[in-house]
Amino acid sequence: MRRRDLRRVMAIEQMVFPEPWTQGVFVSELSLRKGRAYRVARLGREMVGYVGLMFVEDEAHVTTVAVAREHQGRGVGTQIMLGAVRIALEEGSRRISLEVAVGNERAQALYRRFGFAPVGIRKGYYQLTGEDAYVMWAYDIHTPAYAERIARIEEEEAQRT
């Protein structure tokens, strides 16, 4: 992700989140070269989604992930999460976490596919709506068993297209 991508990032952000990040937050995150990774997903020339990661020691945390509404349900989120896991592994992460709205069952299903499981709840995490968030973790992403999980997902996605 680059600053020039922010116009489309902000459009997607406004489209999919009740409490979108501001452009200033994205600019700030992009300026933190160490300990962060932000990537966009494209179909052809069109940006259709993005992901952000933060790294602390051997942990990765998904700070944001989004897919444009018109591209949801088409495997874009799966491709974004495959990329996120690859980046986390390249950074030496052994586990990865994220927060997801309790009511966002579609996203939770995607994350469960990647081995994430809820380990706690952040009450009132989303200030505007007051909705709680699950804290989800995928542990041992560096292991052969997790590599097999990722290989299965990649194979399923290859068959789907």
- The answer to whether residue 57 is catalytic is no
**What is the predicted pLDDT for the residue at 18?**
87
Q: Which of 59, 99, 126, 139 is catalytic?
A: 99
Q: Closest Cα to residue 86, out of 124, 130, 51?
A: 51
Indicate the residue type of 106. R
Long-range contacts of 35-43 (CB under 8 A, 24+ apart): 36/63, 37/87, 37/91, 38/1, 39/1, 39/80, 39/83, 39/84, 39/87, 40/1, 40/5, 40/8, 40/9, 41/67, 41/76, 41/79, 41/80, 41/83, 43/71, 43/76
pLDDT beyond 80 at 161: no
- pTM: predicted TM-score of the whole model, two decimal places: 0.93
Regarding beta strands 95-101 and 117-122, do their DSSP bridges make them parallel or antiparallel, or are they unpaired? unpaired
Q: Tell me the pLDDT of the chain averaged across its residues.
A: 95
Q: Which of 111, 125, 134, 146 is catalytic?
A: 111
Q: Closest Cα to residue 54, out of 93, 27, 101, 100?
A: 93
**What is the predicted pLDDT for the residue at 80?**
97
Residues in CB range of 142: below 8 A, 6 or more apart: 89, 93, 94
Question: How confident is residue 1, by pLDDT bands cut at 50, 70 and 90?
Answer: very high
**What is the predicted pLDDT for the residue at 19?**
87
**What is the predicted pLDDT for the residue at 128?**
86
Question: How confident is residue 127, by pLDDT bands cut at 50, 70 and 90?
Answer: confident
Architecture of the structural domain at 3-160: 3-Layer(aba) Sandwich (3.40)
pLDDT in tens, 9-64: 999 999 999 889 999 999 999 998 799 999 999 999 999 999 999 999 999 999 99
Q: So where are the chain's domains?
A: 3-160
- The answer to whether residue 155 is catalytic is no
